[in-house]
Amino acid sequence: MKVEDIIKDFPILQNRKETYLDSGATTQKPYQVLNAIDNYYKSYNANPHRGAYSLSIEATEKYEETRAKIAKFINAKHSEEIIFSKNATESLNLIAYSYGMENLQADDEVVLSIMEHHSNLVPWQKVTKCAKSNLKYMYINEEYEISDEEIENKITNKTKIVGIAHVSNVLGTINNVKKIIKYAHKKGAVVIVDASQSIPHMKIDVQDLDADFLVFSGHKMLAPMGIGVLYGKREILNKMTPFLMGGDMIEYVYEQNTTYAPLPNKFEAGTQNIEGVIGLGAAIDYIEKIGYDTIQEIENEVVSYAIEELSKLDYIKLYITPNKENHSGVISFNINGVHPHDVASILDAEKVCVRSGNHCAQPLLRLLGIDSTCRASFYIYNTKEDVDNLIKALKKAYEMFKKYIKS
Amino acid sequence: MDDLTDVYNEIIMEHSMNSYNKKCLECASCCKMGHNPNCGDEIKLELKMNGNVIEDMAFSGHGCAISQASTSIMIDTLKGKTIKEAKEIIETFIAMIKREITDEAELEKLEDAIVFKNISHMPARVKCALLAWHTIEDMLEESNSCK
């Protein structure tokens, strides 16, 4: 499939003139996803797991079919290892409270990478404080990567939990999670992989990675907002207590006590986001139809071109690894001497959408000695023309500021 | 907004990049930090009172051109004013940014700070322009401690 054909599937890209370079924040949605949601409400909307009537049974079937589809998509062994959540943040909070809070003891260690999104960092501050355990970080080297020595220095026999972003939402660095997981397992720790920035772009195989937990958000991979996934190994999830209590996660409820439903319902209290699940299923179908090979081919061409063009501007500082094979579709940059918010406003006036700010990764930015960056992030519908628009707008921003920039 | 030269004009650029108000006061009566957690803009305002009058002000910190220029121009505008006059100017500035002012004549008291009028058309930047003004507003509220 060619990028020109892909673009035709995204109504917003036809309806608006913007150059959209913020897919790391959320992707645009194709007709296939929008239609699937529309069709759900028009054809088989009912509360799943509740009714004995066929409409509810149909809704339940579609819901559970999608769970099985996701299990297959990430090569989970069992369908019930897929838990639906609101987003990656909720999945991570579930792990922190239901696994972390119950298993961490005083003096145990939780090891995170310094490039974690706040969602895989702030919950661990709270949990380690409660458990009187220690929170440690794996830092990046001058190539914006975590070295093998750093992994081996930080993950020790005291480490019980390791949290790692598969791809950094600021640097675009692809972390070697397989290696981290192997080493952490040798030390007896469980590993949580935040795949939010990787799963839109690359094949995830939880069994090959041997991840204990893996989380992602639907809206960063063409699905609607408000739907996320938690994968956990069945034997671990079985031992965990529920995170949210309420309807549908129970077995017997007495006046004083309750027994809980088996997986996956144990972790899905209350009426779920069925339209989100249906949309996520359609998004996975769409990604599989195009294929990760094609996705990577399209992205590689555009991202390489972007790096090449940005590198020609001597007033731009890039925050990316020089090792191309370890870099995904996110490029953080700054115009030297100009604040990223001013750059983003000028780009906005040129109808180029980039993110500016700390990207929910304040500890990483503090380590880099900056408080914000501009970030362009790419997906299957981006073209070299989008890059040209970005470069043109950046040149304009620089022209506006250059006589005032302090050397 | 399509044309940003109205916003990034000479006076805003000069104040943001080379402000003479960006310094430390030797004997400040009080100081306060202002912070926009979402964008990381951070300023420290220092105030020197002489009775009821703002005798001197200065700032330090970092942030975008809008937040830095707004702070610097605010200092120029409020220096030498009484607390009562300053409060009126602050109120008018905030109302201008929120597009609540119908009578243009009211804006005259803002002096140079009127250059931020167009920010009201850029919702993403409103909080940048208001950071210093909200900070001084709080400081003057607490002005009893500013002696």
Helix (H), strand (E) at residue A375? strand A373-377
How far out from the chain centre does Cα B41 lie?
14
Longest CA span, chain B: 46
Residues A40-62, mean pLDDT to the nearest whole number: 92
pLDDT at B1: 55
Which residues 362-381 of chain A have a CB within 8 Å of chain B? 362, 365, 371-372
Residue B46 pLDDT more than 90?
yes
Residue of B1, B17, B18 with shortest CB distance to A349: B1
Catalytic status, residue A360: yes
Tell me which DSSP letter residue A324 carries.
Answer: G
- Cross-strand partners of A377: A22, A330
Taking the CA atoms of residue A72, residue A73, residue A77 and residue A79 in that order, the dihedral angle to the nearest 10 degrees is: -60
Q: Are A20 and A354 in contact (CB under 8 A)?
A: no
Distance from CA of B66 to the nearest CA of A (A): 8
Residue of A341, A401, A405 with shortest CB distance to B128: A341
Q: Which residue has the tokens 């991840």?
A: A211
Q: What is the pLDDT of residues B5-23, one digit of tens each?
A: 788 999 999 999 889 999 9
- Nearest residue of A to residue B68 by CA position? A339
Rounded CA gap, A231 and A76, in Å?
A: 8
Residue B3 pLDDT more than 60?
yes
Residues A173-185, mean pLDDT to the nearest whole number: 98
Topology annotation, domain A291-404: Aspartate Aminotransferase, domain 1 (3.90.1150)
Q: What is the pLDDT of residues B91-101, one digit of tens each?
A: 999 999 999 98
Alpha-carbon radius of gyration of chain B: 14
Q: What is the pLDDT of residues A313-351, one digit of tens each?
A: 999 999 999 999 999 999 999 999 999 999 999 999 999
| Number of domains forming the structure of chain B | 1
Residue B146 pLDDT more than 70?
no
Distance from CA of B117 to the nearest CA of A (A): 16
> What ipTM did this prediction achieve?
0.90
Distance from CA of B111 to the nearest CA of A (A): 23
Residue of B17, B38, B64 with shortest CB distance to A404: B17
Is the domain A33-288 a CATH 3.90.226.10 member?
Answer: no
CATH code of the domain in which B70 resides: 3.90.1010.10
Task: Give the global pTM.
Answer: 0.94
Comparing B30 with A108, the larger pLDDT belongs to: A108
- Nearest residue of B to residue A342 by CA position? B64
User: Where in the sequence is the domain holding B13, given as residue range(s)?
Assistant: 4-32+39-145
Contact B66 A341 (CB under 8 A): yes
Contact B14 A404 (CB under 8 A): yes
Residue spans of the domains in chain A: they are 33-288, 291-404
Query: Helices A54-73 and A274-290: crossing angle, nearest 10°?
Result: 40
